[in-house]
Amino acid sequence: MLSVIPLCGSLPLCIMTIMNKKIDILSMGLALGMVFGACAADSAGLARILEENVLDESLAGGPPTLMMYRLLSAEMAQAGVSIRATQDRIITPEALAVWQKRTRGACLEALGGFPERTPLNARVLATVEREGYRIEKLLFESRPQHFVTAHLFLPDPTRFAAPYPGILIACGHSKTGKGYPGYQRGALLAAYNGMAALIYDPIDQGERLQGVGKGLCIGHNTTGVKAALLGWNTATFRIWDGMRAMDYLASRPEVDDSRLGCMGNSGGGTLSTYLSALDERIKAAAPSCYISSLQHVCAAMGPQDAEQNVFGQMAFGLEHSGWLLLRAPAATCVCAAKKDMFPIEGTYQTIGEVRAVYERLGKADRLELAEHDGPHGWAEPLKVAAVRFMSRWLRQGAEVTVPPETDMGLKDEAVNVTEQGQVMKLDGARSVYDLMRDEAARLVFVRGLAGKRDLHAVVRRLAGIRSLENIPVPVTVNRASVLEGEVSVRKVALTVEGRVAIPADLFTPAMPHGAPVLVVDGRGKRHVAATVSALLKEGRTVLAADLSGFGETYGSAHSFYGAKNKDEGPAVMAYLLGHSLVGQRAEDVLLCARWLSTACGENRVELHASEWAVTPALHAAVAEPQLFSKVTLADEPLPWEDVVTKDVSHRFSDVVHGALREYTLADLKALAVR
């Protein structure tokens, strides 16, 4: 049983008791008494109290720093169960078509949609003749002045008659992009066997660096944070580049646009998976070293870079199996390395799930698995398997000729299409950052046209904040309670099943007056001693709490590309599930505020937020304004408009997908701060 007595009066603290829960508070209580002394507002003493952890492994179910990761992993597992149950119901072509239409629509919405097709303005800038094939160096515009560098490998016309099948090759995460020898080799293998192959540079690779020092995965992630605020994704740019590359390939007179395929490795495996799922022109697909399962990937190494994570995809059915089913029952060969960092166990699971659907549709021969007993990478056997699969389905001949591995295509500076070696040095060149700045400016106009809106409802919807009555009342676990000098100190854990436990310190003066104050800081409660001290001098009751992933629960099982902060990986896991850490932390604020107001017998509390706790605090205050009499902010993070428009990095855990379509942090501040 749980008995609740107001805690903010001058009487000694009354303890909430939880049946069958043994809590040793004596040692912690003695320690608190020793450090706190008689001074109610001594900052040094407060700091020592705040540094004493509330949570331990027994209460957190393991290391407290991994609590958020464990809970999100469990939610992903449950989402996986739901996805598999839905896939099991796909037993007819009609059922598949219904599922594909719904899922593709949800995917395109999560990506933010694509722009209208504009002229490619393609130019062949140079040609290189090789034995068995020819290479054309291409420059085209996937969007106006957004340049893409590419190589088109064409078969020897004396050996093969045009029109040829066409294969688009998406590059993995190599600094040199299309110039990486393994990717050059894949293109020449295709051309050597009578198929045209177009290989192009992704953004932030090869000749397409979008900003100084932002190459490869770090660049993709920097783009991803900004894009998410606009309701886009790094994949939005990557997929559109690929679709326009396919437009160019299909437009060539030497290519038969009814026989198109796509293949790629690693990050190129990701993109070839996406493109093959979303572009119905692709008749044969061979993604390599990517297909596993999001559950397995997140468990083994955490979520990967930004374009591999589409908002809410686990909620609307896009596990790795879902991407393959979006093109079912078209011909697909999954290429996998048994010692890959993308777990092979996930590959086997996904192939099994997809094969079951293909078999029910009578198309089992259209799905293959090619394996190589090696590490991550487009090993020669996997490239040959991919080209053989393309030849089988696009040329009706599975036999292929493999030239000596001494031929690896173009090398070093010979791979460059532009004289300057970088497209951003071309006159009028526009980067993804320019495109996002344009969108941010457009959204200022859109928000202005929208006029007065119910931002309370908008914030709840976009950030995923439940109404107050739907947020469970926490079970309060007392960790220690002492009365020293003029202030009583109570260390508590606010726990709700399925949520991160919130460790908190409640400071109650002997004669409190004024509204109680909830204090949250993005670095954790151990950093708020000065704030708490000042409030206690005013006679305020103060609850200093760690929101999910701050302070005692700050941490993750895995690092995240280029991230300096340990809440980035969990933030991406939440993103995959259709949540935001901003929304989760906002609910924490509401839960704590309601608990504090009830404990003190007050209708409203004051809220003081600093650092990375500011954004969730603003969302909480706008979502449920009746809980707060005053909101004070300190050390605020960068405004979201500046995150998009300026050359800065920002925490992925501090964004809400698509928020700038509806509101800015300044809009929330105008409503909350009073």
- Is-contact 492 14, C-beta < 8 A? no
Bridge-partner residues for 506, per DSSP? 490, 543
Extended beta strands in 322-366, E state: 331-339
- The residue that leads in pLDDT, 46 or 418, is 418
- How deeply is 427 buried, as exposed, middle or buried, from its count of CB atoms within 10 A (0-12, 13-18, 19+)? exposed
Which band of pLDDT confidence, cut at 50, 70 and 90, is reported for residue 664? very high
> How confident is the model over 491-535, as pLDDT tens digits?
999 999 999 999 999 999 989 999 999 999 999 999 999 999 999
pLDDT of residue 17: 30
Which band of pLDDT confidence, cut at 50, 70 and 90, is reported for residue 449? confident
Burial 225-244 (b: 16+ CB within 10 A, else e): bbbbbbbbbbbbbbbbbbbb
Q: Considering only 139-148, 209-218, 308-317, 540-549, which range has the smallest mean pLDDT?
A: 209-218
pLDDT of residue 107: 98
575-599 mean pLDDT: 97
Instruction: Tell me the Cα Rg of the chain.
Output: 28
pLDDT of residue 559: 77
Q: Considering only 144-153, 214-223, 658-667, which range has the smallest mean pLDDT?
A: 214-223
Helix residue spans in 503-635 (DSSP H): 529-537, 568-576, 581-600, 614-623
The highest-level CATH class for domain 101-442 is: alpha beta
pTM of the model: 0.93
Could you tell me the residue ranges of all domains in the chain? 37-76+463-672, 101-442
Instruction: Kindly state the helix (H) or strand (E) to which residue 78 belongs, with its residue range.
Output: helix 67-88
pLDDT of residue 20: 32
pLDDT of residue 561: 62
pLDDT of residue 8 exceeding 80: no
Hey, do 37-76+463-672 and 101-442 end up sharing a CATH topology, with the first three levels equal?
yes
pLDDT of residue 564: 77
Write down how long the chain is. 674
pLDDT of residue 10: 36
For 273-321, the three-class secondary structure string (H helix, E strand, C coil) is HHHHHHCCCEEEEEEECCCCCHHHHHHHCCCCCHHHCCCCHHHHCCCHH
Q: Of 571, 565, 581, 590, whose CA–CA distance to 615 is shortest?
A: 581
Q: Of 522, 529, 539, 530, whose CA–CA distance to 606 is shortest?
A: 539
Q: Which two tokens stand for residue 470?
A: 């739907």
- The residue that leads in pLDDT, 336 or 39, is 336
- The bridge status of strand 628-634 relative to strand 502-509 is unpaired
pLDDT of residue 290: 98
pLDDT of residue 483 exceeding 90: no
| Whole-angstrom distance, CA of residue 120 vs CA of residue 244 | 8
Decide: helix, strand or coil at residue 626: helix
pLDDT of residue 269 exceeding 70: yes
CATH number (3.40.50, 3.30.70, 1.20.5, 1.20.120) of 37-76+463-672 reads: 3.40.50
- Is-contact 201 184, C-beta < 8 A? no
pLDDT of residue 1: 28
**Mean pLDDT for the chain overall:** 91
Q: Considering only 3-7, 176-180, 464-468, which range has the smallest mean pLDDT?
A: 3-7
Which band of pLDDT confidence, cut at 50, 70 and 90, is reported for residue 314? very high
pLDDT of residue 299 exceeding 50: yes
